[in-house]
C-alpha cells in the first residue's frame, strides 16, 4: 500500500490509496492533458473607409506586359572575331615590323661603313639676269643660273638626280622666278657644271621693294636667295637607295641685275632628308 501526504495549513486526515485507485487517477490526469481546447478567434479588424472607396471606384486592370519579338538569325551570318586570334595577328605584325626595321638599320649601317658616303658640295657659279625693268612695278624676269655640283669626295658613291625638283630665286621673301634641276647621273670623283633657266611672269613689286632694288643696283650689291629642292637616289656600288630629298639654300650677292652679273659673295647650305 502507498501513502500520499499533502501539506496544508488545515490538517487533512491521512488516506490509504489502493493500487487500482492510483492507476485510475493517473490515467484520468493524462486524458485531461491530451484534450485540445479551442483557441479564441482573432479580433476582427475594423473596416476602413478605403475599402468602401475601393468598392465604389472601378478596379483598374494592370497594364499588359510589352511584347517581346524573337529574331532568328541563320548560323554563319554573324561573325565574331576571337580576341586570341586578333592578339596573335597584332603581335605577329609588330614582330615582323620590328624585324624589318632591324634588318634595314643593319643594312644601312653596313653600307655606310663600307662606302662612307659624303654629301656633295653645291655652289652658284654665275647668274645672268634679263628682262628685269626696275622702272616698272610688274616684271617678267629671266635668270640663267650656273650651278656646280662637286662629288669628288665620294670614291664609290654616285647620285641619281630625279624628276620633281624645284629651283627658286627670291628677293626679300618675294619669289621672282622658278625653274627645275636637270635629271642626270652624277658619278663618283666627278665635278659637274650645268646651267638652268628660271622664269617669272607678272611679278608685282611694291614701291618700297622697287626703291630698295634701285638703291642696291646703284651700290652694286643686290642680295638674292636661291633655293633648291631635288629628289635623289644614292648608288652604293650595284645597290640603289630609296628616294632621298636634298635641299640647298644659297645666299648670293650680285653686282647688279644684268646679264653676266658678277657673283660677289655666295654661301650654300645643304640638308638631306633621308625619310620622306
Q: What does the pLDDT read at residue 65?
A: 62
Q: How many helices (H) and strands (E) does the chain have?
A: 4, 15
Q: CA angle at residue 249 from 245 to 253, to 5 degrees?
A: 160
Q: What local confidence, expressed as pLDDT, does residue 166 receive?
A: 97
Higher-confidence position of 250 and 38: 250
Q: What gap in Å lies between CA 223 and CA 270, rounded to an integer?
A: 19
Q: Is 0.75 surpassed by the pTM of this model?
A: no
Q: What percent of the chain has pLDDT over 90?
A: 54
Residue 244 belongs to what H/E stretch?
Answer: strand 244-254
Cell reading at 51: 475599402
Q: Which residue has the higher pLDDT, 230 or 109?
A: 230
The pLDDT score that the predictor gives to residue 53 is 46
Helix (H) or strand (E) holding 255: none
Q: Which residue has the higher pLDDT, 90 or 7?
A: 90
Structural domains in the chain, CATH included, are 120-273 (2.60.40)
Question: Would the pLDDT of 30 be above 90?
Answer: no
Res 74 pLDDT > 50 = yes
DSSP, res 201: -
- Mean pLDDT over all residues of the chain? 81
pLDDT of residue 121: 96
Please tell me the least confidently modeled range out of 53-62, 151-160, 174-183, 193-202: 53-62
Averaged over 169-193, what is the pLDDT? 96
Q: Is the pLDDT of residue 163 over 70?
A: yes
pLDDT at 49: 46
Query: Buried b / exposed e across 50-88, counting CB within 10 Å, b at 16+?
Result: eeeeeeeeeeeeeeeeeeeeeeeeeeeeeeeeeeeeeee
**Predicted local confidence at residue 197, as pLDDT:** 97
Asked whether the predicted pLDDT for residue 5 surpasses 80, the reply is no
State residue 6's pLDDT score: 45
Q: Is the pLDDT of residue 126 over 50?
A: yes
142: pLDDT strictly greater than 80: yes
Confidence of residue 4 (pLDDT cuts 50, 70, 90): very low
Buried b (16+ CB within 10 A) or exposed e, 143-167: bbbebbbebeebeebbbbbeeebeb
Angstrom distances, CA of residue 144 to CA of 124, 130, 259, 260: 11, 9, 9, 9
Q: pLDDT tens digits, residue range 203-258?
A: 999 999 999 999 999 999 999 999 999 999 999 988 899 999 999 999 999 999 99
Average confidence (pLDDT) over 106-132: 87
Quote the DSSP letter at residue 117.
-
> Quick one: pLDDT at residue 111?
72
Q: For the ranges 25-39, 101-115, 143-157, 243-257, which has the lowest average pLDDT? A: 25-39
Amino acid at each position: 500500500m502507498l501513502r500520499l501526504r499533502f501539506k496544508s495549513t488545515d490538517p487533512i486526515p491521512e488516506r490509504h490509496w489502493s493500487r487500482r485507485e492510483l492507476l485510475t487517477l493517473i490515467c484520468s490526469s493524462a486524458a485531461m492533458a491530451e484534450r485540445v481546447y479551442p483557441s479564441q478567434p482573432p479580433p476582427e479588424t475594423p473596416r476602413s473607409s478605403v475599402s468602401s472607396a475601393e468598392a465604389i471606384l472601378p478596379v483598374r486592370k494592370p497594364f499588359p506586359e510589352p511584347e517581346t519579338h524573337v529574331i532568328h538569325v541563320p548560323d554563319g551570318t554573324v561573325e565574331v572575331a576571337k580576341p586570341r586570334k586578333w592578339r596573335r595577328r597584332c603581335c605577329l605584325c609588330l614582330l615582323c615590323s620590328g624585324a624589318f626595321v632591324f634588318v634595314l638599320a643593319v643594312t644601312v649601317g653596313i653600307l655606310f661603313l663600307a662606302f662612307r658616303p659624303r654629301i656633295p658640295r653645291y655652289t652658284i657659279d654665275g647668274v645672268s639676269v634679263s628682262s628685269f625693268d626696275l622702272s616698272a612695278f610688274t616684271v617678267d624676269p629671266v635668270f640663267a643660273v650656273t650651278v656646280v655640283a662637286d662629288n669628288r669626295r665620294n670614291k664609290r658613291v654616285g647620285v641619281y638626280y630625279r624628276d620633281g625638283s624645284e629651283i627658286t630665286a627670291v628677293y626679300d621673301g618675294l619669289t621672282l622666278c622658278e625653274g627645275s634641276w636637270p635629271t642626270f647621273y652624277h658619278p663618283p670623283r666627278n665635278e659637274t657644271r650645268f646651267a638652268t633657266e628660271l622664269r617669272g611672269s607678272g611679278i608685282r613689286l611694291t614701291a618700297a621693294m622697287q626703291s630698295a632694288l634701285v638703291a642696291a643696283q646703284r651700290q652694286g650689291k643686290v642680295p638674292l636667295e636661291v633655293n633648291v629642292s631635288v629628289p635623289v637616289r644614292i648608288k652604293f656600288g650595284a645597290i640603289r637607295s630609296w628616294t632621298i630629298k636634298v635641299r640647298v639654300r644659297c645666299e648670293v650677292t650680285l653686282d647688279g641685275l644684268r646679264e653676266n652679273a658678277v657673283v660677289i659673295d655666295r654661301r650654300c647650305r645643304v640638308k638631306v632628308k633621308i625619310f620622306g
